[in-house]
Amino acid sequence: MNEKEYKKSLRQFHKHSDRHILVVETDMSFSDIQKVVALSDKIRKAGNELVGLMRKNYDQLIRTKRYRKVRKLYGATEEKKKRKVLARQLNEMQKQYHVTWDDCRTSMIPIGKKYGIDAIFALTKAEDVWRGIEKCLYANGKTLHFSKYGVLPCIRAKQRNRGIPISVKENQLQFKFGKSTFGIQLKDRFQSDEIHAVLDYLAEPEIIDKKAIQIFAEKAYCINTYRPCYATLVPKLIRGKYRVYLHLTIEGKAKPKYDRFGNPRHKFGKGIIGADIGTQTVAYTSDTEVGLKNLSERGNSIQKSERLERIYYCAMDRSRRATNPQNYNKDGTIKKGRKIWKYSNHYKRLKAKHAELCRINERNRQLAINEDANYLRSLGDVLITEPKNASKLMKRAKETTKNNKGKFNKKKRFGKSIKNRCPGGFQTTIEKKFEVSGGRYIEVASNYRASQYDHTADAYVKKKLSDRMYHLVDGTLVQRDWYSSFLLYCYDDKIEEINKTKCRTEFEKHYKREKALIEWIQANQIKILNSGIKTA
Could you tell me if 140 and 225 lie in one domain? no
Residue 463 has pLDDT above 90, yes or no: no
Q: Is residue 429, in this structure, part of any structural domain at all?
A: yes
Q: Is residue 118, in this structure, part of any structural domain at all?
A: yes
d(CA 43, CA 37): 10
d(CA 134, CA 132): 5
How does pLDDT run across 14-32, given as a tens digit for each residue? 999 999 999 999 999 999 9
pTM of the model: 0.88
Give the domain-ending residue among 103, 119, 145.
Answer: 145
Could you tell me if 247 and 380 lie in one domain? no
Range of the domain at 433: 272-299+361-398+408-523
DSSP 52-83: HHHHHHHHHHHH-HHHHHHHHHHHH---HHHH
Lowest mean pLDDT among 89-93, 186-190, 232-236, 471-475: 471-475
Could you tell me if 13 and 79 lie in one domain? no
Could you tell me if 505 and 469 lie in one domain? yes
479 and 532 Cβ atoms separated by less than 8 Å: yes
d(CA 205, CA 199): 10
How does pLDDT run across 36-75, given as a tens digit for each residue? 999 999 999 999 999 999 999 999 999 999 999 999 999 8
Q: Is residue 334, in this structure, part of any structural domain at all?
A: no
How does pLDDT run across 360-395, given as a tens digit for each residue? 999 999 999 999 999 999 999 999 999 887 777 777
R_g (Cα) of the chain, nearest Å: 27
Residue 350 has pLDDT above 90, yes or no: yes
Could you tell me if 22 and 170 lie in one domain? yes
Q: Is residue 54, in this structure, part of any structural domain at all?
A: yes
Q: Is residue 356, in this structure, part of any structural domain at all?
A: no
Rounded mean pLDDT of 131-140? 93
Residue 335 has pLDDT above 70, yes or no: yes
Could you tell me if 378 and 506 lie in one domain? yes
Q: Is residue 504, in this structure, part of any structural domain at all?
A: yes
Could you tell me if 21 and 42 lie in one domain? no
Give the domain-ending residue among 121, 145, 169.
Answer: 145
Percent of the chain with pLDDT over 70: 99
Could you tell me if 88 and 235 lie in one domain? no
Q: Is residue 323, in this structure, part of any structural domain at all?
A: no
CA distances from 241 to 30, 32, 87, 244 (A): 10, 14, 50, 10
Res. 536 pLDDT band, cuts 50 70 90: low
371 and 268 Cβ atoms separated by less than 8 Å: no
Describe the crossing of helices 65-76 and 30-63 by its angle, rounded to 10 degrees. Answer: 90
Could you tell me if 21 and 105 lie in one domain? no
Could you tell me if 285 and 433 lie in one domain? yes
Could you tell me if 163 and 244 lie in one domain? yes
Could you tell me if 10 and 54 lie in one domain? no
Total count of domains within the chain: 3
Q: Is residue 444, in this structure, part of any structural domain at all?
A: yes
